[in-house]
């Protein structure tokens, strides 16, 4: 197996004029070092233990585990867990305002109670134990701080779909139809991807817009494509400021009242402008963002063999994070599938060019100048998710670096004048998210302390775990998917965060030390592969960690067995119980790392075109004989049809059968050849390959596949137990051994 192909050539982003200087970083590092030395000194002298002891005496009544098993039924933690379960499963299976606020309040109470209990479990016996135990507690604090901010912001979310219903009436009736420039920036994307994007944009149901193809690679074939499709073609002499510079250059060349932007691979549905333009009747609104959805499975789902089961990673962001940010006034511009008021972007100086995340900081700049950036949670377009793990890594690392450049530019959401405290809090949550990778890494490494140093960083017993930790953990599992609209289970979220954990750690460090050392890297699109590819450069840290955790598990189990058989059992019982937690922790890490390594094996993807599970009545004409059937899957290259009557002539690879295909509902009439019969059933299922399409035929096919309003639906992620079962199944039946090499069609709405 070979390494994954290298990422696309970077486009250079000019450095920002505002930077954090080296002395500030040295001061921060010196402060952390000083605090570490002080804590170690306190631990050695017993002072830290004395401080913690005084704290624990104060809160002891809140965290005293009952001595009798029957008393657990009235324990506050258990009552809170039962309350959240009843609300989320019985009284309000779908979040409503009242139920969301109650659940959020209960979760915040549980977090506080859990943190107070954790102070009782710190191991301050010596310097090394204190350091590791306090480090673990700090890692938990970081993760829970991010979660608590999210929970606080979830007290209020906003859903603008009903508002869009009313505003769309004005657009449909012609009362409000401003002129619009549709901008499609491109850098090295294949022509076949751009063709479907432009055709899809031209199919939008709106009377007053002009499409502009912004080619930053100045390719003659793309200029010819624009001429063939009848759209404007704009280029520039250089690639200064990458995508942001490309958009700013195009804005200066166009005049529409509104601007709509689609990435080169994003295809809008016909009603995109009808659903979004009406919001601009409010003069304060500068930008309307819609979700990103995808018409291909992301590489994690594909490599696990769970296409049409796992939801894309971005679903959590667009179902949970963006609605809560809309209520807080801190909506993130996603760089595609948005509509923008020209006067607002011109008044604020255009797209921000100081960062890799020009879209994110442009929305911040607009909000800081008093404009509103809003979010419509309605899937009105679809694009290509990263097609392999290498491309997935390029995209995520660019997002991390671009977001963290906030500390070094003028549009830092934490300091820029004009934002409210709640807006800053919303953006702070997004920035803090990238730092939680440190917590995740610490959790992976912590079990090694059990094996290599015999240190128990959490001093607890079974009763306390049952009373405090288990209800807290189960409550988190209960509400996790409920709060994010069933877009992701907690176990799947853990896997997604693990795959790129160590590259993200490196990127976070680099972004803080050298924020502008790397330029803009375009996510490769339109790729294909005929073999399994193992991503060694992403996998080696996980392989090393897997080996260490395997040793930790073996060693810790041996210590448990040894301690359980020594004569002085009473003196060793606390140590043994701590080791029990250690081997369970190591076993969980091993399972998760093993699945992550399987994700890093890209499965073959020989065809860059996706097939969709779309059912339409089809009519076949072969030698004046008519056959009727139903499509089961269809793409730009061909389709599969279940015939409903009659016997079909034999098909061979040497003598394919030329025929005429009609799909009356789509007004589509195509010349095709029958190339294979699938199975032995009668009437048979046949595979068709389309002959070269005329432009009119291709337009109708694109509209059928990509442009139908309502076809991109929200899909629910598997629940926690099913997710765990799926992951264990993948762990013991890797796709490289059992994967059937048959095409899987993408599920779409049958509208």
39-94: pLDDT as tens digits: 555 555 455 555 555 555 555 455 455 444 444 444 667 778 888 889 999 999 99
With a pLDDT cut of 70, the percent of the chain lying above it is 84
In angstroms, the CA 222 to CA 213 distance is 9
216 is catalytic: yes
pLDDT over 70 (residue 512): yes
Catalytic residue among 263, 354, 359, 580: 359
Residue 550 — very low, low, confident or very high, per pLDDT cuts 50/70/90? confident
Residue 249 — very low, low, confident or very high, per pLDDT cuts 50/70/90? very high
Least confident residue range of 53-57, 201-205, 340-344, 726-730? 53-57
pLDDT over 50 (residue 15): no
Alpha helices in 446-523 (DSSP H): 447-453, 462-464, 470-483, 490-499, 501-513
Angle among Cα 132, 138, 144 to the nearest 5 degrees reads 140
**Cβ-Cβ contacts under 8 Å for 723 (sequence gap 6 or more):** 489, 490, 491, 492, 717
Q: What backbone phi and psi angles, to 5 degrees, belong to 534?
A: -100, 130
Average pLDDT over residues 312-329: 94
What is the predicted pLDDT for the residue at 531? 85
C-beta neighbour count of 149 within 10 angstroms: 17
Q: Taking Cα atoms as reference points, which of 361, 333, 386, 365 lies closest to residue 515? A: 361
What is the predicted pLDDT for the residue at 266? 97
In angstroms, the CA 392 to CA 406 distance is 22
Residue keyed to tokens 């109670």: 113
Are 555 and 451 contacting, i.e. CB atoms less than 8 angstroms apart? yes
> pLDDT: is 485 or 29 the higher one?
485
Domains of the chain: 10-156+433-602 (no CATH), 612-706 (2.40.10.220)
What is the predicted pLDDT for the residue at 1? 35
What is the predicted pLDDT for the residue at 255? 94
What is the predicted pLDDT for the residue at 564? 55
Q: Residue 271 is inside which H or E element, if any?
A: none
Q: What does the mean pLDDT of the chain come to?
A: 85
Residue 741 — very low, low, confident or very high, per pLDDT cuts 50/70/90? low
Catalytic residue among 216, 263, 298, 580: 216
Are 599 and 303 contacting, i.e. CB atoms less than 8 angstroms apart? yes
What is the predicted pLDDT for the residue at 414? 94
Q: Residue 688 is inside which H or E element, if any?
A: strand 685-690
In angstroms, the CA 310 to CA 487 distance is 9
pLDDT over 70 (residue 34): no
Average pLDDT over residues 333-346: 96
In angstroms, the CA 249 to CA 238 distance is 11
Q: Taking Cα atoms as reference points, which of 494, 523, 501, 432 lies closest to residue 717? A: 494
Q: Taking Cα atoms as reference points, which of 528, 527, 744, 712 lies closest to residue 640? A: 744
Are 390 and 4 contacting, i.e. CB atoms less than 8 angstroms apart? yes
> pLDDT: is 567 or 102 the higher one?
102
> pLDDT: is 650 or 274 the higher one?
274
> pLDDT: is 72 or 176 the higher one?
176
In angstroms, the CA 610 to CA 525 distance is 13
3-class state of residue 94 by DSSP: coil
For residue range 416-451, list pLDDT tens digits in order: 999 999 999 999 999 999 999 999 999 988 888 777
pTM: 0.88
What is the predicted pLDDT for the residue at 8? 40
- Terminal CA-CA length for the chain: 42
pLDDT over 60 (residue 558): yes
Count, residues in the chain: 751
For residue range 357-400, list pLDDT tens digits in order: 889 999 999 999 999 999 999 999 999 999 899 999 999 999 99
pLDDT over 90 (residue 405): yes
In angstroms, the CA 621 to CA 241 distance is 54
Strands 612-613 and 617-622: unpaired
For residue 273, give Cα distances in angstroms to 164, 176, 183, 270, 712. Answer: 11, 12, 13, 8, 16
Are 556 and 450 contacting, i.e. CB atoms less than 8 angstroms apart? yes
In angstroms, the CA 182 to CA 262 distance is 8
Q: Taking Cα atoms as reference points, which of 351, 340, 357, 429 lies closest to residue 147? A: 429
**Cβ-Cβ contacts under 8 Å for 451 (sequence gap 6 or more):** 551, 552, 553, 555, 556, 559, 582, 586
Residue 505 — very low, low, confident or very high, per pLDDT cuts 50/70/90? very high
Residue 5 — very low, low, confident or very high, per pLDDT cuts 50/70/90? very low
What is the predicted pLDDT for the residue at 556? 66
In angstroms, the CA 216 to CA 243 distance is 8
Least confident residue range of 183-192, 474-483, 547-556, 613-622? 547-556
For residue 459, give Cα distances in angstroms to 76, 124, 486, 500, 579. Answer: 22, 10, 35, 31, 10
Burial of 745 (0-12, 13-18, 19+ CB in 10 A): middle
Residue keyed to tokens 């209020």: 156
pLDDT over 50 (residue 132): yes
What is the predicted pLDDT for the residue at 96? 93
What is the predicted pLDDT for the residue at 165? 96
Highest mean predicted confidence (pLDDT) among 104-113, 697-706, 721-730, 732-741: 697-706
What is the predicted pLDDT for the residue at 116? 85
Average pLDDT over residues 653-681: 87
CA-based torsion, 723, 729, 734, 735: positive or negative: negative
Average pLDDT over residues 513-525: 79
359 is catalytic: yes
Are 482 and 88 contacting, i.e. CB atoms less than 8 angstroms apart? yes
Q: Taking Cα atoms as reference points, which of 313, 256, 251, 262 lies closest to residue 289? A: 262
What is the predicted pLDDT for the residue at 18? 43
pLDDT over 60 (residue 638): yes
pLDDT over 60 (residue 19): no
Q: Residue 299 is inside which H or E element, if any?
A: helix 299-304
């Amino acid at each position: 197996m070979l390494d994954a192909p290298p990422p696309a050539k970077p486009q250079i982003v000019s450095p920002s004029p505002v930077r954090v200087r080296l002395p500030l970083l040295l001061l921060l590092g010196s402060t952390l070092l000083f605090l570490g030395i002080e804590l170690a000194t306190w631990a050695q002298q017993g002072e830290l233990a004395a401080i913690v002891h005084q704290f624990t005496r104060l809160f002891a009544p809140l965290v005293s585990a009952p001595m009798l098993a029957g008393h657990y039924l009235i324990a506050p933690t258990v009552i809170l867990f039962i309350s959240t379960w009843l609300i989320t499963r019985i009284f309000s299976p779908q979040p409503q305002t009242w139920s969301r606020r109650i659940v959020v309040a209960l979760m915040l109470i549980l977090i506080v109670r859990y943190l107070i209990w954790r102070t009782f479990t710190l191991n301050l016996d010596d310097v090394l134990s204190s350091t590791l135990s306090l480090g673990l507690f700090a890692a938990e604090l970081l993760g829970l701080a991010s979660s608590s901010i999210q929970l606080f912001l979830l007290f209020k979310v906003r859903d603008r779909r009903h508002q869009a219903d009313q505003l769309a009436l004005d657009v449909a009736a012609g009362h409000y139809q401003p002129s619009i420039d549709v901008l499609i920036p491109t850098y090295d994307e294949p022509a076949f991807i751009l063709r479907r994007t432009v055709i899809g944009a031209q199919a939008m149901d709106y009377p007053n817009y002009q499409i502009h193809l912004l080619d930053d690679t100045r390719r003659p074939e793309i200029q010819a494509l624009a001429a063939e499709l009848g759209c404007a073609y704009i280029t520039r002499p250089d690639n200064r400021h990458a995508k942001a510079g490309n958009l700013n250059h195009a804005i200066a060349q166009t005049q529409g009242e509104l601007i709509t932007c689609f990435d080169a691979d994003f295809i809008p549905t016909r009603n995109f402008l009808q659903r979004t333009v009406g919001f601009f009747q409010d003069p304060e609104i500068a930008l309307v963002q819609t979700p990103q959805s995808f018409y291909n499975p992301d590489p994690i789902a594909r490599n696990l063999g769970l296409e049409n089961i796992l939801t894309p990673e971005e679903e959590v962001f667009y179902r949970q994070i963006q609605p809560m940010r809309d209520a807080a006034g801190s909506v993130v511009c996603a760089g595609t599938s948005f509509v923008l008021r020209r006067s607002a972007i011109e008044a604020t100086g255009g797209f921000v060019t100081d960062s890799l995340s020009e879209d994110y900081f442009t929305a911040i700049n607009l909000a800081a100048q008093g404009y509103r950036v809003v979010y419509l949670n309605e899937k009105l377009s679809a694009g290509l998710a990263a097609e392999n793990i290498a491309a997935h890594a390029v995209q995520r690392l660019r997002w991390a670096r671009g977001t963290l450049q906030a500390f070094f530019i003028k549009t830092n959401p934490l300091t820029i004048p004009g934002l409210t405290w709640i807006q800053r809090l919303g953006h702070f949550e997004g920035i803090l998210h990238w730092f939680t990778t440190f917590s995740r890494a610490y959790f992976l490494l912590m079990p090694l302390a059990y094996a290599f140093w015999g240190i128990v960083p959490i001093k607890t017993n079974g009763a306390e775990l049952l009373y405090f930790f288990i209800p807290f953990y189960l409550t988190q599992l209960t509400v996790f998917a409920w709060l994010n609209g069933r877009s992701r289970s907690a176990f799947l979220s853990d896997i997604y965060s693990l795959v790129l954990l160590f590259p993200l750690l490196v990127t976070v460090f680099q972004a803080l030390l050298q924020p502008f050392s790397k330029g803009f890297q375009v996510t490769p699109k339109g790729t294909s592969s005929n073999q399994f590819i193992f991503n060694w450069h992403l996998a080696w840290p996980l392989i090393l960690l897997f080996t260490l955790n395997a040793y930790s598990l073996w060693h810790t189990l041996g210590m448990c067995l040894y301690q359980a058989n020594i004569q002085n059992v009473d003196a060793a019982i606390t140590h043994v119980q701590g080791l029990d937690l250690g081997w369970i922790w190591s076993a969980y890490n091993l399972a998760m790392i093993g699945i992550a390594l399987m994700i890093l094996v890209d499965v073959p993807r020989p065809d860059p075109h996706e097939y969709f599970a779309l059912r339409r009545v089809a009519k076949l004409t072969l030698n004046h004989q008519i056959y009727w059937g139903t499509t089961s899957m269809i793409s730009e290259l061909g389709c599969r049809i279940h015939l409903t009557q009659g016997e079909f002539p034999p098909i061979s690879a040497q003598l394919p059968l030329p025929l005429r295909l009609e799909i009356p509902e789509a007004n589509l009439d195509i010349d095709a050849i029958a190339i294979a019969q699938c199975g032995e059933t009668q009437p048979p299922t046949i595979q068709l390959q389309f002959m070269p399409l005329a432009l009119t035929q291709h337009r109708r096919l694109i509209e059928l596949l990509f442009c139908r309003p309502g076809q991109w639906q929200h899909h629910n992620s598997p629940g926690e137990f099913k997710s765990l079962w799926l992951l264990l199944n993948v762990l013991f039946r890797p796709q490289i051994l059992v994967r059937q090499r048959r095409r899987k069609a993408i599920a779409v709405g049958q509208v």
